[in-house]
Amino acid sequence: MHHNRKALLAITRRHFLGGMGFGIGSLALAALTNDNLFAQQPASPMAPKPPHFTPKAKNVIFLFMAGGPSQLDLFDYKPKLNQYDGQVCPPDLIKGERFAFLKSDPKLLGSPHRFSRHGGCGAELSNLLPHLSTVVDDIAIVRSMQTTQFNHAPAQLFMSTGRQIAGNPSLGAWLTYGIGSESNDLPGFVVMLSGQNAPDGGRSCWGSGFLPSVYQGVEFRRSGDPVLFLSNPEGVSRQTRRESLDLLRDINTSNEVDCGDPEISSRIAAYEMAYRMQSSVPELADISKEPQEVHQLYGTTQG
């Protein structure tokens, strides 16, 4: 055996996950087939799995502010930057470094926002975060993670997958792969976008990479069907759809036995989850029935 192959086999899960560098990621499509088919089908790839440690949280909401204000305007106060605002950057600060779009005499730009200390911890936050400042003692601001990547798309991929190039699983995909989902009718990993377009990193920011596609994020839309192609085509009843899926499942299962491609089971799970989501998602996505205090708590309006 080639020595490189031996080295790869010797990599432990801890080394692998540690090298991946968690940053996120946000929904996977699946739970396998109907309840009455579980005895006939392989175990669902989304079945709940026991975690390594006793969890303290049941759900995770990951807010990735692609295109949001700089940390220098929010919680990373730089007094020196304001001191040299508008002045040419001292050469010794950028000596030997390479920067994109840097002109011959770059000038420094300080933050125009006012910073002040909050809470018992004395964290410095800008006036752009008036609500967050009231709970600053209940949050953790991590300053030990950084990257030298300055272009938008690679930096977003790095934040979401731990790598600067596409093709790697997002944090949400790793989580659903590792611990599964307790829901049989809803995705374990859901993505919601606040703008009209996806981030520069694209759907790779919530993709499954080299993991089976069943672990990728499911995008919930703001208008029309919450999930693309959730509704049956015109003239196709729910019963007809069920019969079609049963036939398709039998064909795919036969092919999986013949070729052993794990992606086939992911596709079966995706079809079955989509069928169940036809009933569960419309109710889930309808927030009009939520009380006003819930809207205020989560902030369902811009501003």
Whether residue 35 is contained in a domain is answered as yes
Task: Name the pTM for this structure.
Answer: 0.68
Strands 123-126 and 115-118: antiparallel
**According to the model, what pLDDT value does residue 41 have?**
44
Whether residue 112 is contained in a domain is answered as no
Whether residue 230 is contained in a domain is answered as yes
Whether residue 140 is contained in a domain is answered as no
How confident is the chain (303 residues) per 10-residue block, as mean pLDDT? 50 47 38 39 70 81 85 92 89 76 78 95 95 94 84 90 93 90 84 81 92 88 77 85 88 86 79 80 80 83 66
Task: Catalogue the E-assigned strands of 80-226.
Answer: 115-118, 123-126, 190-192, 218-220
Listed residue (162, 150, 50) closest to 98, CA to CA: 150
Its domain, for residue 257, covers 25-66+162-303
**According to the model, what pLDDT value does residue 214 have?**
85
Whether residue 104 is contained in a domain is answered as no
Whether residue 191 is contained in a domain is answered as yes
Whether residue 175 is contained in a domain is answered as yes
**According to the model, what pLDDT value does residue 255 have?**
85
Looking at this protein, which amino acid is placed at residue 10?
A
Whether residue 10 is contained in a domain is answered as no
| Whole-angstrom distance, CA of residue 272 vs CA of residue 186 | 11
How many independent structural domains does the chain possess?
1
Q: Retrieve residue 111's tokens.
A: 């933050």
